[in-house]
Structures are given as C-alpha cells and as structure tokens.
Chains A and B, each alone.
With several copies, the nearest count.
Chain A
C-alpha cells in the first residue's frame, strides 16, 4: 500500500509517502495502528485516513490499490 503524506507529517518523515504491506483484509484503524508502530517518531495526533479522496470510517476495509492519504489536522482558510 502506498500512502501519501502532507504538511507536518511529510516534513517530519522527510518524504511525501510511505509504503506498507499489511496482511489483507485491513481496516482504516488497523492500518493507522500499524503505521504508528512502524513510524513512532511521526506526529500522529489527530491524523485521519482518506481513501480515494474521502475520509474513511475506522472500520472500513481498505482496497489494496486504493488512493490512500494520511491527513494531519487541517488548517485551510
């Protein structure tokens, strides 16, 4: 799974994406937990997962080839 990073999350990671291949099926919450364990140094507070440009519920199953992105707390406007 290829997961895009933005803003403070991308800056802290020093890169614009992360790759992780968890056993499938995997829910949004499970993926977030795996990412936190794999990259504990990143600022995870308030981070949400988006799939195909839509916020996903914690228990939503993720498709392996979906467009995934980690959305840190937003500050537009």
Chain B
C-alpha cells in the first residue's frame, strides 16, 4: 500500500483493539485524530439487535485509495489508516475505525470529517439493520 493511506483492512465482526494509531504515528506528527463508528441501540424508534455488513471488498479498497488521495490533496495530512467490519456487529460494537496523523489539528479534523463523508456515500459497503421487526438494508449515507 502506498500513498497517504498506509493501512486498510476489513475484519469479520466488530473492530477491537488500538493498533491503528501506531500505524500513522510518527515524530513528524503533532496530532492523531481517530474516528470510530459505533452501533447505536435504537433506530427509527425501534430497538436495534445488530447490524450486518456486506462489502464489495476489491472495490472498497480501490475507492478508499481514491478518496484518501483526494482528501490528502485538499488537507495537509501525513498518513491515514482505516479498518472496516464485515459480517455481524452487535449494538455498542465498532464498525469503522479511522486514524489520521497530521502536523496540525485543524487539518487532521477536517480531513477525518471529509474522509468519513466520502466513505459514507461512495465506498461499496452496505449495512442491514436488524431490529425486533426484521431487517432493512440502509442506503443513501445513513
């Protein structure tokens, strides 16, 4: 893997641990910003049981590389690393984890927000929200 996206992985089930940050850290970094998406216990008034993620894995990585390059062209960051779940993620579990190192915090925050915005509308991953009334595939950046 080359360029600003130094690490990407998809993992079965919820993301655990704290190893992503070490992949972007360095003596050139003034900060590391991390984002974790976590599964909420309620949605549209119903109790959520779990999420089920499906992906088109080859295109996920290709699209994330494109998004990372675009974000790095707009925001002066050093390195980023991303992990995303596939399969079942229970309530409270982590489904996506992003770490960005930059010299300055304003660019790190802006880059993390932009990366997540683009991921949500472009990266071919889908979640089915399973609640007490069944399951529904979500879409349109939910």
Instruction: Tell whether, in the assembled complex, residue B137 and residue A75 are in contact, meaning their CB atoms are under 8 Å apart.
Output: yes
Tell me, yes or no, whether A23 is within 8 Å of chain B by CB.
no
Q: A6-B54, A46-B139 are in contact. Are A75 and B127 (CB under 8 A)?
A: yes
Q: Please report the C-alpha to C-alpha distance between residue A69 and residue B54 in the assembled complex, in whole angstroms.
A: 14
> Considering only CB atoms, which chain B residue lies closest to A73 in the complex?
B139
Residues of chain B at interface, number, CB under 8 A: 30
- Chain B facing A: main interface SS: mixed
- Mark each residue of chain A from 1 to 23: 1 if its CB lies under 8 Å from any CB of chain B, else 0: 00010111001000000000000
For A76, what are the chain B residues with a Cβ–Cβ distance below 8 Å?
53, 55, 60, 84, 96, 119-120, 123-127
Count, A-B residue pairs, CB within 8 A: 79
Q: A69-B56, A73-B140, A74-B141 are in contact. List 8 more A-B contacts (CB 8 A).
A: A4-B56, A7-B54, A69-B59, A71-B59, A74-B139, A75-B137, A76-B123, A76-B126
Q: Which residues of B contact A (CB under 8 A)?
A: 37, 53-56, 58-60, 62-63, 84, 95-96, 116, 119-128, 137-142
> Could you name 13 residue pairs across A and B whose Cβ atoms are closer than 8 Å?
A4-B56, A6-B54, A6-B126, A7-B126, A50-B59, A50-B124, A54-B63, A72-B126, A74-B121, A74-B126, A75-B120, A76-B53, A76-B123
